[in-house]
Amino acid sequence: MSPKPTYRIAAIPGDGIGVDITSAAIQVLDTLATANGAFAFKYTTFDWSSKAYLERGWYMQPDWEAQLKKHDAIYFGAVGWPDVPDHISLWQMILPIRQRMNQYVNVRPTRILKGTHPPVAQLQQKPADLDWIIVRENSEGEYAGQGGTTHGHTAHATATEVAIFTYVGIERIMRFAFETAKARPRRKLTMVTKSNAQRHGMVLWDKVFYEVAKEYEGVVEYDKMLVDAMTVRMVNRPESMDTIVATNLHADILSDLAAALAGSIGIAPSSNLDPTRSCPSMFEPIHGSAPDIAGKGIANPVGAFWSAAEMVRWLGKGELDAVADQFMQAIENVTGNPETRTKDMGGSAGTKAVTEAVCREIERVC
């Protein structure tokens, strides 16, 4: 009998509610591993937070890349705190991890879980009308970090923020998006662009999309949307889309809209993937550190659990899909019960009560 696999997880709780939901996710993952019996998790916890940065002046040790690479996956809570400008935590930690760990795809599944209250009437009546996978380019584009400032602190200040689009970068994200669409029952891909106004990078984006599309002719149905019109279509005709591919900036914005349409930002998951599997991929809820509710024990851990389920799916390379589905079933059994919903979902349960309820469901379902 081969030894049971132990997945090494780098856990980065970060700041605020990131700390609460990461420990909740670890508790739930361990319950899943015990209930299933065929695999286990081993964690290394990294104290990379804004609080630590304020004390010692740095987020991550100089050898952070080598440390992360010793793991099979990274589980990330949230980073950011009011005393530290957001662009510092982003550029000292999140973006370097995404870029150096080759996580060039960010995947954000969105659907309406049982017990959520979507704000749009159509979705209240027919929640199944919203079932999307947003595929975000995660390595270049508008967040490439290129640009500069002159006369910085004067009334003559000038700043440039240069978006970088490369053929290689676009082609690999388009290929991933088409493959994602192809694996889903509806086989439908919507590409988002702004090539009517941005005439260089976005035109290349469109061109490469149509080139890759040729390989999927008759296999995946596809269309193109300008990002502004896309926001309207997401609200008015959610059923008309399935897989969506967009740039770093566009998908960042559209996926927050998607989370709001699905009922709460506390539910939505995200996966930062290195599809080549040469580096560990990173899983995190899309919400931030929510300083307003930090330390109160009321954060919704569902986005953290859904992200953990996506991590299990990724680690299993197809062999743990059924386990991840059961995990999701356990989560939905809990969100479906008004007694075990957090405040943002209209209930009064705390993080701990929801976590314990999910653990009990896992023991029952898995």
DSSP summary character for residue 213: H
The amino acid sitting at 328 is M
| Pick 38 or 54: Cβ nearer ligand ATP | 54
Least distance from C-beta 199 to Mg ion, angstroms?
31
Rg, C-alpha atoms of the chain: 20
Element (H, E) at 142: strand 141-150
Q: Which does 13 bind (CB under 5 to 8 A by kind): Mg ion, ligand ATP, none?
A: none
| Pick 78 or 262: Cβ nearer ligand ATP | 78
Least distance from C-beta 264 to ligand ATP, angstroms?
7
Least distance from C-beta 288 to Mg ion, angstroms?
4
Listing DSSP states for 6-75 in one string gives: EEEEEEEEESTHHHHHHHHHHHHHHHHHHHH-S-EEEEEE----HHHHHHHS-SS-TTHHHHHHTSSEEE
Residue with nearest beta carbon to ligand ATP: 288
150 three-class SS: strand
| Pick 201 or 288: Cβ nearer ligand ATP | 288
Least distance from C-beta 162 to ligand ATP, angstroms?
24
Residues 6+ apart with CB under 8 A from 179: none
Q: Which does 299 bind (CB under 5 to 8 A by kind): Mg ion, ligand ATP, none?
A: ligand ATP
β-pairing verdict for 131-137 and 105-111:
antiparallel
In whole angstroms, give the CA distance from residue 109 to residue 334: 19
Residues forming the site for ligand ATP (CB under 6 A):
17, 78, 80, 86, 265-266, 287-290, 292-293, 299-300, 303, 342, 344
Residue with nearest beta carbon to Mg ion: 288
Phi first, then psi: give them for residue 25, nearest 5 degrees: -65, -40
Q: Which does 300 bind (CB under 5 to 8 A by kind): ligand ATP, Mg ion, none?
A: ligand ATP
In whole angstroms, give the CA distance from residue 192 to residue 198: 13
Least distance from C-beta 288 to ligand ATP, angstroms?
2
Least distance from C-beta 193 to ligand ATP, angstroms?
26
Residues 6+ apart with CB under 8 A from 300: 264, 266, 267, 342, 343, 344, 345, 351, 354
Least distance from C-beta 342 to ligand ATP, angstroms?
6
The site map against Mg ion for 263-302 (x = CB under 5 A) is -------------------------x--------------
In whole angstroms, give the CA distance from residue 215 to residue 188: 14
| Pick 203 or 265: Cβ nearer ligand ATP | 265
| Pick 72 or 344: Cβ nearer ligand ATP | 344
Q: Binding residues for Mg ion, per CB under 5 A?
A: 288
